[in-house]
Chains A and B, each alone.
Chain A
Amino acid sequence: MPLVVIGLSHHSAPVPVRERFAFAQAALPDALQQLRETGLAREAVILSTCNRVEIYAASDFPEAQAVLRLRQFLLDYHKCTEPMDTEIYARGGRLGLEHLFKVACGLDSMVLGETEILGQLKKAYDTALRHQHTGGVLNKAFQRAFNVAKKIRTETNIQRGSVSVGSVAVELAEKLFSSLSEHPVMVIGAGDTSEKTARALLSRGARSILVSNRSHARAVELAQELGGRAVSFDDWATEFPHIDILISSTAAPHCILDRAKLEPVMKLRKNRPILLIDIAVPRDIDPSVELLENVYLYNIDDLQAIAGDYLRQRQEEIARCEAIIAEKAQAIMTASFLARGCEPAPVSSLGKAGA
């Protein structure tokens, strides 16, 4: 009984299509039940995230037929009359297994090497397991996928480093300060990126967050969300001597912080280092402040350069990860053939269905 994967992802389908095919968490048990009751699959797991919708199934049908039937199920379930030939892909046998391993490791993710997908995959498997829709084939495949993900995380650098602006800012803060909980953070300009950066700092232990915005109501709203305090936009400079990390992303057409303003503040700060993250375009902070001692200024380009380098490092690891995945998939295929008392099929003949 082969493993078949059918679905669509950010590689093959744009957001509107992915939205249309998404399964609500509450609807998953019912969809799994339908797959089993109609005889399409003996075992099934449905993974539905913002970037992919995939059905992993073990079917009594031959692989090619199973793919066709599962594809029709997916279209019918979401009441789609279009063929979706280019959006929906399928993998079977060894390729299906390798695809599952790649998804678990974040190799197939939009952000290469991200770890969130592993949690989502575990949740999808857990839902199917709790409702007794898994059996020998999928249990073995998913357990092995989780082990491979762990092995790849520990033996390669695929998940090393930060690839988003927010997490790079956190990493920089951690190179200056040993504990973020003792260093107050100020967010000027309540935009999306500054909010994400502030959230990333919070997730790594920052406690005291001040928010200042031209629209005070928005500042209050964001401060409440972050568990911080809102500061009037006219008063942010008075709070400045007490903060150690500044995230600035206002829409101001000129610099709001320059050397003349910062110099007296640094004296009041008694030479404590300060990290200035300027993610605004045009820039909020005059680059000349960098000449001041204990001032560490990073703008959006600096952060993106670091994130880009991390990404390059991750890309260099892809070949190593794929080698591990191929080896593990081959091992599981060989073991299943031997268990059935057959000679293992040559690699080239396995998993030809799909894509």
Chain B
Amino acid sequence: MEFLLADAATRFNVNTVSWWTDRHVFLLAVIVYGFSAAYSLFLWRKGFRKDDFINYGMLLVGLILQTKAMFMRGLSLKECPVHNLYEAMTFVDWTIVAAYAVIGLWPKVRYLGAFAAPVIFAIGVFALMPGLDAAHKTLSPIETNALVSLHAALTLLSYGAFGLSSVAAVMYLSQEHDLKFHKLRAVFAVMPPIDRLEIITSRLLWSGFLLLTAGLALIPFLFKDRSEFHVASDPKVIWSALVWCLYLVLLVLHGRFSQSGRKFAWGAVASFAFVVLTFWGVNLLSPTHRF
């Protein structure tokens, strides 16, 4: 009898573990992000008039759940979970929420969460689309080394920083528009001044640019022992170089040629839109990044 009970308990335990995967935890996080996005709409309708902890709290809960999901995935793979499109998207999503969790500690920037929540939710929903979480192919030792993980982590972190900078840029554009057209919301909203938003956007872009530079600098080392691949012929590498140039031009125009805050903000939004809209397609074209 005791043997039977122990057996049932073991089987029940095994079933529970196999049913409750990291994807379920991530799904919970995305649901929380969804509530946050819906609540953001309410805050927008109300004109962002009062400091609001609820949205920050919801995104924080989502971040905890997502961190748990990524830990579960990382522990099961015994490496940084950045090897398929689902993992890449969740990593970018996590970077945006984590960066916001730090920046949102400053009350005047807390409403950044209201602008970030729809983006975070959209990326989360996209990541959960069927087919993106493909089984990991058997990789050669060179593909599984720490350098690959570091390269992937750095570039994905940079996309996260670009994502949050575009969110700050949207916040800038919204506030700038309200001020320009004398909307009462510009004065009543608990928002930072637009020069502060420009600084936040710029610093996030610089962080993303430096991370991307570091990530791309590792490419020659990754291709060192793989003579069958030519770096210059890989569409993903060309695309990454293009993205790098795009952000470099944006930062130089802003820093050296006093580009106006509005154009800079539009540049940040458009650049991230380009990254998001082409990321999947270019991965499909790349022989080294096909997930």
Chain A contacts to B: CB under 8 angstroms: 161, 168, 171-172, 174-178, 270-271, 273, 290, 293-294, 296, 298, 302, 305-306, 309
Contacts and interface: CB of A to CB of B under 8 A. Distances in A.
Given A171-B187, A174-B193, A293-B260, 6 more contacts: A168-B187, A176-B179, A178-B193, A178-B196, A294-B261, A296-B179
A257 B138 CA distance: 71
A293 B187 CA distance: 19
Complex A-B, nearest 10 residue pairs according to Cβ-Cβ distance, in ascending order: A270-B258, A271-B260, A178-B196, A178-B193, A271-B258, A302-B182, A293-B260, A306-B187, A309-B184, A175-B193
Contacts of A273: 194-195, 261
24 contacts: A161-B187, A171-B187, A175-B187, A176-B179, A176-B195, A177-B193, A178-B192, A178-B193, A178-B195, A178-B196, A270-B258, A271-B259, A271-B260, A273-B261, A290-B180, A294-B261, A294-B262, A296-B179, A296-B180, A298-B182, A305-B182, A306-B187, A309-B184, A309-B188
B56 to A, nearest CB: 21
Interface string B164-192: 00000000000100011010101110011
Contacts of A305: 182, 184
Contacts of B260: 271, 293-294
Interface string B187-209: 11001111110000000000000
Contacts of B259: 271
Which secondary structure dominates where chain B touches chain A? helix
Contacts of A168: 187
Contacts of A178: 192-193, 195-196
B195 A161 contact: no
Contact of A175 (B186, B261, B262): B186
A165 to B, nearest CB: 13
A304 B202 CA distance: 35
A138 B129 CA distance: 70
Nearest to A293: B260
A175 B194 contact: yes
B185 to A, nearest CB: 10
Nearest to B193: A178
Nearest to A272: B258
Interface string B239-274: 000000000000000000011111000000000000
Given A293-B262, A294-B261, A175 B191 contact: yes
Contacts of A161: 187-188
Contacts of B196: 178
Contacts of B180: 290, 296
B193 to A, nearest CB: 5
Contacts of B258: 270-271
Contacts of A302: 182
Contacts of B184: 305-306, 309
B262 A176 contact: no
Nearest to A269: B258
A290 B180 CA distance: 8
Contacts of B194: 175-176, 273
A178 B172 CA distance: 14
A273 B262 CA distance: 11
Nearest to B197: A178
A293 B177 CA distance: 11
B184 to A, nearest CB: 5
Contacts of A177: 193, 195
A284 B194 CA distance: 26
Contacts of B186: 172, 175
A293 B262 CA distance: 8
Given A161-B188, A273-B195, A175 B182 contact: no
A298 B181 CA distance: 10
Contact of B179 (A175, A270, A293, A309): A175
Interface in B138-169: none
A127 to B, nearest CB: 38
Contacts of A309: 184, 188
A217 to B, nearest CB: 36
Of B179, B182, B261, most A-chain CB atoms within 10 Å: B182
Contacts of B193: 174-178
B174 to A, nearest CB: 12
Contacts of A171: 187
B192 A172 contact: no
Nearest to B181: A290
Interface in B208-264: 258-262
A271 B200 CA distance: 18
A346 to B, nearest CB: 38
Nearest to B50: A157
B188 A175 contact: no
B187 A172 contact: yes
A302 B175 CA distance: 17
